[in-house]
Structure 1
Amino acid sequence: MANTMASAKAMRAATQREAKRKRRISYSILFILPAFIFYTAFVIYPTLNSVNLSFTSWDGVSDHVRYIGFDNFKEMLHSERVYNALKNTLLLSVSLVVLENIVALLLAILVDQVRWAKSLFRSVFYFPVLLSGIVMGFVWAIIFNFNFGVISQLLDRIGLSEWKIDWLGDPNYALLAIIITTVWKGSGYYMIIYLAGLQGIPPELNEAAAIDGANRAQRFRHITFPLLAGAMTVSVMLSMIGALKIFDQIAVMTDGGPGFATETLTYIVYKVGFGELRQGYGTALSLVLFVLILAISLIQVKLLRRREVQM
């Protein structure tokens, strides 16, 4: 009798636990459902629809959608404009990843060594990050202006007018102007990541190395730099993705010019899709850009994670 009552009580407890578990799952689904519906409507569905539109010649306006198969992708393979945009995208990405991370690391080391007003220096270096890309582009477009820009006026006043450069009008310098502008704006963001990594390094390690006779360069090479591997992985990955998607600076400063000198894959998607009313072709280009970003990101993470393990 006692065993029967104990078994019945255990079954009731198990039933109650199962009912509670099901209620928790139901509540969880109810909490997740609004966000899932929103994400599906504005991310998943447009993404899947983009794949469909990439096989059409839709102009983005008319109701008529004509399927043309892989013609958009075939056109890309024979387009010098696309290859030029791909070259600019890769050149811009490599330059920005290297320069932004070098400048950010140097700024982080500088701020970390400051003994007074550390918060002030941190805020000053981070301030450009807060600026809108559009605003920042207009400011630097004025600075680089050949006729009345700050650089040109300074050279005129010191008698070096022959050194003036038409930064935004010369195909040889326009991309460099974009790189300088973006490094100035983005380095402060990655500085914060490196600064967090530096402050996470135990000071006892550097003190012990100093006692053993290691100079500052040796301590940085054998202690600081290896222990910043995690921060570097995050910074390099974010800067690469940001560089591959760069748009604001190009739109405001050069509009892809002069000619096609600063046109990137992101910008050519905009120009083709909205300027030339070729949404089908623009969508196909955006899919290629998506695959490129995904492939580079995966390779980058794998290599950087391997470096972290080795260090």
Structure 2
Amino acid sequence: MTTSLNAGPPSAANPTAPERAPAKRRHGKQRGHSVAYAMVAPAALLLVMFLIIPVLLAFGLSFTNARLISPNPPRFVGLDNFIRAFVGDPTFIRSLINTFLFAVVVVPVQAGLGLVMAVLVNQKLRGTTFFRIVFFIPVVTSIVVVSILWRFMYQPDGIINSFIDTITFGSWEGIAWLSNPSTALPAIIVLSIWQAVGFHMIIWLSGLQTIPEELYEAARMDGAGPWQQFKNVTWPGLRPTMVFILVTITIAALGLFVQIDVMTQGGPRDSTTTLVFHAVRRGYREQQTGYGAAISLIFFVLVLAIALIQRFLTRDKD
């Protein structure tokens, strides 16, 4: 009896008891933060080493006359490299035009063709899985291997000229597709669309499969035909997917490099040179590091501006 009376309430006997729980929670939260930082650290370190630092170095080098191998130290030249690009380098202007032409053709054609293919393989029919795999095979194939194969196909005695000669009953005269300035860039455009359209077909397909089937049933009950269903149900439901696809295709099109490097080396007569290829050629092969960095910075600003404009034009109006 005496013991129970002297014990008193738990808080009076042990005044630090209520404070232990918040302290434990704080300690657990700090430990969780430490674990999270430790898990993020490797990726953050790689990001800083291979993205942030190179971008900062390229920004600094673009205002110098640095060369890849030179006994003379780099010298600050201000905006001379940028003035040279737009005034004193006709190859840069040609590469800028070629890059825009490539993007203007590839972006709508690749996006539209991918959408058509996605609608076709989204049908509940037998064999659609097979066609999905067939359309996606070029995507998982190395672009270098694809470019080498298509380079052989574009030769005067290649399979493309042989096929055209067959269907025209021998009246076709073979064309050296990659050696003709008027056909070299269109030939690379066809290759690029064929190689990457399967990837965007899969993205369109994933967007199609997020649209509820009930919406189509309601549209059919209202008497809507296939075109009305696509216009009023499918296309509005694909708006977020459309924004993503336009941005990704545009960035990939503006960054065209591998096909040019493998197939044409920018020729003939600079008819296929692009901004990225021109920057690599000037910066590494001709060892004009400062000028190559300036072209890369121009390319970065160009891609950023186009992506922001696309995002503004495709934003939700509400």
Query: Do the two structures share a fold, i.e. TM-score over 0.5?
Result: yes
SS class of match (2:116)? helix
CA distance in 1, matches of 2:212, 2:40: 40
Match of 1:17 in 2: 25
CA distance in 2, matches of 1:184, 1:284: 32
Pick from 135, 149, 170 the counterpart of residue 159 of structure 1.
170
Specify the structure having the higher radius of gyration (Cα). Answer: 2
Q: Does 150-159 or 105-114 show the bigger shift?
A: 150-159
Q: 1:261 to 1:213 in 2, by over 3 A?
A: same
Pick from 160, 165, 178 the counterpart of residue 168 of structure 1.
178
1:149 matched to 2:163: no
Give the Å deviation of 1:275.
1.9
Match of 2:81 in 1: 72
Counting aligned pairs with the same residue, the percent is: 37
Match of 2:70 in 1: 62
Give the Å deviation of 1:74.
1.4
CA distance in 2, matches of 1:212, 1:13: 61
Task: Using structure 2 for the length normalisation, give the TM-score.
Answer: 0.90
Q: Give the residue type in structure 1 aligned to 2:171.
A: L
Give the Å deviation of 1:152.
1.6
1:136 matched to 2:146: yes
Pick from 180, 188, 191 the counterpart of residue 198 of structure 2.
188
SS class of match (2:216)? helix
Give the Å deviation of 1:6.
7.4
Superposed, which structure 2 residues align to 1:45-60 within 5 Å?
45-60=53-68
What are the ranges of 5 or more consecutive residues in structure 2 without an aligned counterpart? 1-7
Q: 1:39 to 1:5 in 2, by over 3 A?
A: farther
Give the Å deviation of 1:141.
1.2
Give the Å deviation of 1:234.
1.2
Match of 1:250 in 2: 260
Give the Å deviation of 1:4.
5.3
Give the Å deviation of 1:70.
1.6
CA distance in 2, matches of 1:197, 1:29: 34
- CA deviations on 1:193-216 (whole Å, 9 max, x unpaired) are 111111222222223222322221
Give the Å deviation of 1:173.
1.5
SS class of match (1:115)? coil
1:202 matched to 2:202: no
Q: 1:81 to 1:11 in 2, by over 3 A?
A: same
Give the Å deviation of 1:5.
5.8
1:273 matched to 2:315: no
Q: Does 193-202 or 7-16 show the bigger shift?
A: 7-16
CA distance in 1, matches of 2:306, 2:21: 53
Which 4+ runs in 1 deviate beyond 4 A? 1-7
Q: Give the residue type in structure 2 aligned to 1:221.
A: K
- CA deviations on 1:91-119 (whole Å, 9 max, x unpaired) are 11121110111110111011112500221
Superposed, which structure 2 residues align to 1:281-296 within 5 Å?
281-296=291-306
Match of 1:299 in 2: 309
Match of 2:51 in 1: 43
Q: Which has the higher helix share?
A: 1
What are the ranges of 5 or more consecutive residues in structure 1 without an aligned counterpart? none
- CA deviations on 1:235-274 (whole Å, 9 max, x unpaired) are 1111111101111111112111111111110110111112
Query: How many residues were matched structurally?
Result: 306
Q: Give the residue type in structure 1 aligned to 2:62.
A: S
1:216 matched to 2:198: no
Give the Å deviation of 1:21.
2.0
